[in-house]
A and B are shown apart, each in its own frame.
Chain A
Amino acid sequence: GAVVSQHPSWVICKSGTSVKIECRSLDFQATTMFWYRQFPKQSLMLMATSNEGSKATYEQGVEKDKFLINHASLTLSTLTVTSAHPEDSSFYICSAPGTTHTYEQYFGPGTRLTVT
């Protein structure tokens, strides 16, 4: 199946520091991956589309200079939250399209970020 992993599963950082979250497709290649954010008891909101070998595209209202995305290989996308603040505390989840049906998306287990 299409398995997506994320690392770390949770992270606590101090305000003003940067945090990197990795998203990997384990048994398939993904030229496109997606990053979502989920606040407590809310739905998932698409933040950006990560494109292998090219710049990411960001949804309206998402600061591209704050949420840096790098899709350096066909199996790895990284999201770096720069100069994190407490309001950035959230559950960050990535997804990748399946190979059989590209319209199906498979999600990673998520990364819980807490900024103190």
Chain B
Amino acid sequence: GQQLNQSPQSMFIQEGEDVSMNCTSSSIFNTWLWYKQDPGEGPVLLIALYKAGELTSNGRLTAQFGITRKDSFLNISASIPSDVGIYFCAGQRINYGGGADGLTFGKGTHLIIQP
């Protein structure tokens, strides 16, 4: 199945630093979502984006939906130890039937924070 191009694959940063990751796709999505997954658990929704160009914040997290509908980025400011984990972007296809559709995921960004 299709996967989104997510980068970087991993990041080693110092506590307090800002983090930036992004996703690109060859296809258009009408919704972009960002999730965090801890080992052995299901993904937890961080931010959802619905409109091209939309910029949304959730605490120290900020995400934007690209104008072309083919990309998105996630920024984390002032990282803390609990930010450690794997971050996934996910795009949702346009469903003209009006219902929800399955998600296409990026390959993930593994965030490691050094105290």
Contacts and interface: CB of A to CB of B under 8 A. Distances in A.
Interface of A: 4, 6, 31-32, 34, 42-46, 49, 59-61, 91, 93, 95, 97, 101-110, 112
Nearest 6 A-B pairs (CB), nearest first?
A107-B42, A97-B100, A46-B102, A103-B31, A43-B105, A44-B105
B61 to A, nearest CB: 15
A45 B43 contact: no
Interface stretch (B13-21, B44-52, B68-76): B44-52
A93 B42 contact: yes
Classify the interface of chain A: helix, strand, loop or mixed.
Answer: strand
Contacts of A108: 42
Given A43-B88, A45-B1, A110-B41, A105 B103 contact: yes
Nearest to A94: B42
Given A44-B43, A110-B42, A112-B40, A101 B48 contact: yes
B45 A106 contact: yes
Nearest to A101: B48
25 contacts: A6-B42, A31-B99, A32-B99, A34-B102, A43-B88, A43-B105, A43-B108, A44-B88, A44-B103, A46-B103, A49-B101, A59-B102, A93-B42, A97-B99, A97-B100, A101-B50, A102-B99, A102-B100, A104-B45, A107-B35, A107-B44, A107-B45, A109-B41, A109-B42, A112-B40
A99 B75 CA distance: 27
